[in-house]
Amino acid sequence: MNMNILALGAHPDDIEFGCAGTLAKYARKGQVIYYMILTKGERGGVGKVRAKEQKEAQRTVLAKKIFWGEFEDTALPSQKDLIRAVEDVILEVDPNMILVNYHEDTHQDHRELALALNSSARHIRNVLYYEVPTTQNFSPTVFVDIEKFMDIKVQALMAHKSQIMKTNVEGISIVEIARSLANFRGIQAKIKYAEAFMPQRLAINV
């Protein structure tokens, strides 16, 4: 079955950290991947630079297109405006599956996006939350084996050159954190590397 998959992130590099391995795996099986990035992450760097980095990461994953939300970093708007923006992209893409930031998070943009999606994606059958370093209280029940795609995930993260060392732990890169997390989630799933998700809804065709 051919699918359209829509991955949403509040900022450049959210998607790469949370689900690039899964997206790369799907893309190489012929599924069509779309991104929606709500801001250009200008509070964490130069917006034009971060947008360019995001395009390089998109090419690594083999995603078809990026939709930009054009909202201000750290100031995603009230639910009404955000819901409308996401709904417009959902209508254009007609996704079979959506991947998005989790709503329990120390960053307000991640929270706002996840909450808006509750309304925007109310008719979508498959909605999965992914994790990033600021996610809290994440208890995944869905795991995707990304052992063969870990190098692609790393390459996609490395595309965000301006952000590699901007972590909350001095001297540790975002790549090191992502690899450690993928190994940990893999151990939980009895495999080497995994990306983990919490489903809002997951419809399984038997």
- State residue 26's pLDDT score: 98
Average pLDDT over all residues of the chain: 96
For the whole model, what pTM was predicted?
0.96
- Domains identified in the chain and CATH numbers: 4-199 (3.40.50.10320)
For residue 124, give the nearest of 98, 103, 159, 148 by alpha carbon: 98
- State residue 79's pLDDT score: 82
Query: Has residue 2 got a pLDDT over 90?
Result: no
- State residue 120's pLDDT score: 96
125-143 per-position pLDDT tens digit = 999 999 999 999 999 999 9
Distance CA 48, CA 175 (A): 22
pLDDT band at 28; cut points 50, 70, 90:
very high
Identify the residue whose tokens are 């923006």: 85
- State residue 204's pLDDT score: 84
Q: With pLDDT > 90 as the criterion, what percentage of the chain qualifies? A: 92
Q: With pLDDT > 70 as the criterion, what percentage of the chain qualifies? A: 100
> Rounded mean pLDDT of 87-109?
97
| H-run or E-run covering 188 | helix 174-188
Q: What is the CA radius of gyration of the chain?
A: 15
163-204 per-position pLDDT tens digit = 999 998 999 999 999 999 999 999 999 999 999 999 999 998
Which amino acid, one-letter code, is at 62?
A: L
pLDDT band at 155; cut points 50, 70, 90:
very high
- State residue 116's pLDDT score: 95
- State residue 206's pLDDT score: 72
Query: Has residue 121 got a pLDDT over 90?
Result: yes
- State residue 107's pLDDT score: 96
Strand 194-201 relative to strand 126-130: parallel, antiparallel, unpaired? antiparallel
- State residue 78's pLDDT score: 74
Query: Has residue 1 got a pLDDT over 90?
Result: no
Cβ(190)–Cβ(143) below 8 Å: no
For residue 193, give the nearest of 160, 139, 151 by alpha carbon: 151
Distance CA 6, CA 66 (A): 10
> Rounded mean pLDDT of 110-114?
96
